[in-house]
Each structure stands twice: as C-alpha cells, then as structure tokens.
Chain A
Amino acid sequence: MLSKSAARTFFLVGTFVCFFAFILLTLDTVRRVPKQTNADQITDSVKLGKKLWEDNNCMGCHTLYGEGAYYAPELTKVYSRRGDAFIRAMLTDPESMYPGERKMVQYHFTDEELDALVNFFKYTDGVDLNGFPPEPDLNTNTVVDESGEVAAIGTRPKVFNQMCLACHALQGQGGAIGPSLDGVGSRMERKDIYNWLKDPISVKKDSMMPKLPLSDEDLTELSTFLSLVKE
C-alpha cells in the first residue's frame, strides 16, 4: 500500500503541475481577453458606468454576465432588449416602467452618470460571451397566425419588443403584468390606441400602466401595428 511519503509526493507534484498550467493559461487569457471583449470600446464613460455599477452594488440584485444575485433581471443584453430610453427611465424613476412590481432602489444620477450607465450596458451587450445568454430553444412563438405577417416576430416594431413585452404578452411571449395584447386591434381603434399610449392616465384615471418614454413616430408606429393585431 502507498506510504505516507509517496502520498506527500503525489500531493506536491500534482499541485505544482496544475498550478503551473493554471498560470500559463491565465497569461494566455490576459492576452486574449482585450480582443474578445472589445477593450478598445471601453471609453471613459464606460469606465464610469462600471464604477457606478460597483459603487451601488447593482450586482446585489441583478446579474451581469450571469454573475450576481437572482432577484432582478439579467442585464448583459439589456441594451438591445429594452433600449436607451427604457434604461434611463428605470434609473431615474424605478416605478416608471414596472409600477407596483418588485422594487428597485431609487437612484439620483446626474445626466453624465445616466449616459455612463447606458454606455456601459451598450458595451456589455457587444461582448462575446461564448453564446451566453442562450436563445430560448423551446420557444415556439415564431408561428404566424391568422392576422397574417404583421404579428410575426420579424415585423414587430423594435420599440414594441423593448417596451411593451416587458409587461404584456403577444402570442404567448412577453410579460404577464398587464393584460395580453392578442386581438387588441379588434377591441380598439388606432386613434384610441394612440391616445392611450400617449398618456394612459388621461384615458383611465386608475391605470397601472406608466406613461412610456415614446416619441411621436413610436406612437404612430405602435398604434398602427396594434390596430392590425386582430382576433
């Protein structure tokens, strides 16, 4: 049977070899990371964004690159998922986009700091994470229904996917905070949809739906799109 000194040799040699390999791999990683992570795009504003991200421990609720806490949404791709205006709205007034839902901290960022955080997310969005986060592979929502092409994924206005799906669902995809939008075009006229989106409270006083940061073009595009989503 193995002696104690042989066991010690096994321990020392094994540890040394693995540690040495780990150091070599680390050197190689340090060399390659700048390219894979677009280090040339880390501007001063992105650096400030990272600093704010750390100083406020956003990672204590959110994940970024899948790391952090599991209380709030994963933010690596939030820039393409929600867009500039949505992120700014959340960071200015966290109740603005998901009123009455799970709470985020109310921050008081300056304009420069808001830019920095948005730029930080724009940067993380572009980093090559070897395929993370994964595409939902059981998602069957690409089917086109009777309403024709209009409701198919590719033709939805981008702003619809970014803002509306956060709370509403269409064809089974999206949130369940507000009512489903399936068939909304049969229930409402385009003009009513337009007015509703422009300021929900003016139409229905006790509405939970926030006034979204939408431009005039957004309003026109969305109301046209939704008016075509028939039963």
Chain B
Amino acid sequence: MKYQSQKVAYVFFATCMLLLGLQIVYGFIMGFAHMGFDALHNIIPFNAARATHNNLLVAWLLMGFMGAAYYIVPEEADRELVSIKWAYVQWASFVVVAVTAVIGFHFNWWEGRKFLEIPRPLDYLVVVNVLLFIYLIGTTIWKGKRYTTTSIVLFFGLLMAALLYLPGMIPTENQTMDSYWRWWVVHLWVEGVWELIMGGILSYLLIKLTGVDREIIEKWLYIIVGFTFLSGILGTGHHYYYIGTPRYWLMIGGIFSALEPLAFLGMAIYAIGMARKGGRNHPNKNALSWTIGCAVISFVGAGFLGFAHTLPQVNMYTHGTLVTAMHGHMAFWGAYAMLILAIISYSLPIMTGRNTMNGVASGFAFWTSNIGMIAMTLAFAVSGIAQVYLERKMGMDFLTVQKEIQVHFFGLVLAAALFTLGIGVYIYAFIKSGIPTKELGTNPDYH
C-alpha cells in the first residue's frame, strides 16, 4: 500500500461484512417460510424479508465497489485521495440511508418494485451520495499523475451505474412501462456497467497477483467489456418478452442475450490464462483463489444458468418461477459477491499488516461457501423445474405445487447452512485481522 488514504476502504469493507451477515439472516427467514414455518409472519411478512434481503445485497455490493475504488484509485492514479474526510462522510451517509431504508421496509414504507424498493425520498439521497463518491474518485484520477485503463474502466463503470439509477425514477401509470424502465436499472447494471466495474477490479487484482504485463491485461479488458456491451445492451430484451412490449423483443432479446455468456466465458478464460502465464508467485494464495473463483463461478451462474432460461421459448414457461431464483443466486454470488470477497482478501492483509486468511481457514471459507452455494443452486433448480412442469405444463394449482416442492426447501436450508458456515469463517478472519495500522506497508510480502 502506497497511500494513507487507501485505508478508507476498510470501513466500507467492514460494513460489507455486517450487511452480508444480515442478508443471510433474512434469507433464512424466507427459506423457512417456504417450508411452512412462518412464525415471524406478523412481524416480518415475506415481502418485508424479501425486500430487505435484496436491498441489503445491493447495498453491500455497492459498498464493496466503493471500498474497492477508494483502495484502487489512489494507487492507480499515483496520489492520495483528494479528501479523506469527505470519503468518511460519504460512507456514513450511505450507511444512514441504507439503514433507514431497511427499517422502513418493516413498516410498509417502500415502493413495490423489485430491487428498487427504496422509497422515493431516499432515492434522491442515494443520488446525492453517489455524486459525492463519483466526485471524490473522479477528481483523484483527474489530478493524479497517470491515467490507467484499469482506473478509467472502473471510473466509467461507477459513473454509468450512477446515471443508470435515474431511469428507474421515470414516472408512469402503465405497469408495462414501469417494468420497462425498471430493467434499464436492474439489467443494465448487472449485465452491463457492473461488469465494467468487475473487469476493472479483476484486472487490478490480476496485475497485482500474477505479475502479467499491464498492457496485455488491459488489452483483454477492452475486448471483454466490448463483448459485454455488444451483447448486454440489446440483451435487455430478455426482460421484454412477456410484459406487454412489442413482439420484436422476442427476437432481439433472444439473439443478443444468448451471446451474453461469451463475455463471462472470456472473463473466465482471461483470469485463468493470466494466472497460468504469470511468473509471479504471490504469497496471497487466498486472494488468487477468490479472483479465479469469481471469474469461473460467474460464468456458471450468470453465463450458463442465464443462458438456460434466456431463449423466449424456454422463458415462456420459466418466467416468474423459482428457476429465476436459481440463476439469480449463483450469478450474484459468482460475479459480484466473490469479486468483493476477492478484493477484501487481497487488500486487508496489506491494510492491517496481518494475514489471518492463511492456511486451513482460507481454504475452508472458500470451499465451504462455494460448495454451499452450488448446493443451494441445485435445490432451487430442482424446485424450479418441478414448479415449471407441475404448474405451467400440467396446470396444477399454485399452492398445491408449493406443497409438492416444500421438501426441496429443506434441502435449500441445509445447503444454506453450509454456505453460512463458510461465510462465518470469512467474517471471523476479517475481524481477527484487526483494524488498519498507522504505518504504511508494514507487510511488504503482500504488495
């Protein structure tokens, strides 16, 4: 670590750990409700648990991106962050908004629009907050001594993510247009600009961990994000098949979204290729596992499982069933959750001067959480496919089908317990690392 201001990242990462823990708690509430144990229904009905679970996810991923940017940008730009104080203000205000939103959900204060449940007044605060963040990062890069492709891609990813939040606020009285604009945010985030952020962070990690030449890594970065947008922008059409929008979206969305896995495949081949090619034997093996794991699992979860239901003929039957949940879990985990766990694994030892993620604990957290998530995905897959056949193909009644598939939610909860164990060990190691030290670069091994 070269600059004091990079340590700002620590509070963001610590918040990630807290919100991730809470997200898992709400996941269990829903898993049990699906099994018929809904004792909490009167305090936390399913829709409150659901909004909380999703928004905590989005909040901690955004926190992670911001923390990563505060860590990476000073180093790439070769100067301190323009203001450490304002970075902390930005962090604190983000936490306040997120906490207010989540508490509000429990009192029926929300907008019933999936993933964008945050009530309108808070939306404006989010915008102000993100503008402050963009300003801090942007001026640091601007005033810095060098512009690297990695920091530019990361910056534009973050800037566009902020801009794309706005279409979600376009007022409309038509349910169809409501959905239409909602996907501009949700889809163009996860299958567009967030992939830019992902590409930027992965490149940084690969440069550091493998020692491969920056020029080569950054060239591939352009090609991959090029594929992302080539397929992902018009791929938005896979959400416009059956919501009351014109029929031509079946064709356009089908063709372009079917190409989306290529970008993820590219990302996986790229990460593995660079790791092989790299001569550098970096001591932080754990960070490398998470980095490669991120690239591989995102291909499986987003690329492969996304493709599984993206063709309109298939989506006609799977749309609005648990098949979607199967894909959503593994895609978010692989592409974005693992990405943030990777950058934390890499940067934490450098910030605190201590590596608690070595040896048995690191392997345990990595493998247990991944095996747990794969098993969860399988449980969702089995229940989703059963639901498609019984409800959509045979015409059985919704609740009757839910009874048939209840047993798979028992499997889901077991798998989730395994997953939680892995995450628990990760969080434990995070806490054990302590807080950042005063001196710079106390642990030269981990640079």
Contact = CB atoms under 8 A, between A and B. Distances in A.
B197 to A, nearest CB: 15
A19 B230 CA distance: 9
A129 interface: yes
Interface string A153-174: 0000000000001100000011
B245 interface: yes
A151 B225 CA distance: 59
Most chain B CB within a 10 A radius of its CB, from A101, A128, A130: A130
Given A3-B219, A7-B222, A34-B174, A18 B229 contact: yes
A65 B243 contact: yes
B175 A66 contact: no
Contacts of A22: 233-234, 236
B79 to A, nearest CB: 24
A47 B173 CA distance: 6
A225 B214 CA distance: 78
Interface string B124-146: 00000000000000000000000
Contact of A130 (B117, B250, B391): B250
Nearest to B30: A71
Contacts of A37: 174-176, 244
Interface in B162-183: 173-180
Interface in A112-134: 124, 127-134
A14 B225 CA distance: 10
Interface string A48-90: 0010011111111101111111111110000000000000000
Nearest to A17: B230
Contacts of B176: 33, 36-37, 65, 127
A10 B222 contact: yes
Contact of A67 (B36, B179, B250): B179
Interface in B41-98: 41, 45-48, 50-51
B218 A59 contact: no
A102 B32 CA distance: 12
A7 B219 contact: yes
A128 B245 CA distance: 8
Contact of B112 (A2, A55, A72): A55
A81 B243 CA distance: 19
Contacts of A205: none
Contact of A70 (B241, B322, B399): B322
For this complex, into which size category does the number of interface residues on chain B fall? 35 or more
A134 B317 contact: yes
B431 interface: no
A21 B176 CA distance: 21
Nearest to B239: A67
Contacts of B356: none
B162 to A, nearest CB: 17
A168 B399 CA distance: 11
Given A102-B399, A136-B392, A66 B45 contact: no
A57 B394 contact: no
A215 B290 CA distance: 64
A32 B246 contact: yes
Interface string A198-215: 000000000000000000
B223 A69 contact: no
A71 B226 contact: no
A166 B396 CA distance: 10
Contact of A60 (B50, B179, B250): B50
Contacts of A2: 219, 223
B247 A70 contact: no
A34 B174 CA distance: 8
Nearest to A166: B397
A30 interface: yes
A50 B176 CA distance: 11
B246 A29 contact: yes
Nearest to B119: A55
Given A14-B226, A15-B233, A56-B112, A61 B393 contact: no
Contacts of B223: 2, 7, 10-11
Given A18-B234, A37-B244, A39-B174, 6 more contacts: A7-B222, A33-B246, A57-B112, A60-B112, A137-B393, A165-B397
Q: 3 nearest interchain CB pairs?
A: A60-B47, A136-B395, A66-B320
23 contacts: A7-B222, A10-B223, A11-B226, A14-B227, A18-B233, A33-B177, A55-B111, A58-B47, A59-B47, A60-B45, A60-B46, A60-B114, A66-B243, A67-B320, A71-B46, A102-B399, A129-B244, A130-B241, A133-B320, A134-B316, A141-B395, A176-B403, A177-B400
Interface of B: 30, 33-34, 36, 38, 41, 45-48, 50-51, 108, 110-114, 117, 149, 173-180, 215, 218-220, 222-223, 225-227, 229-230, 233-234, 236, 240-250, 252, 316-317, 319-322, 324-325, 387, 389, 391-400, 402-403
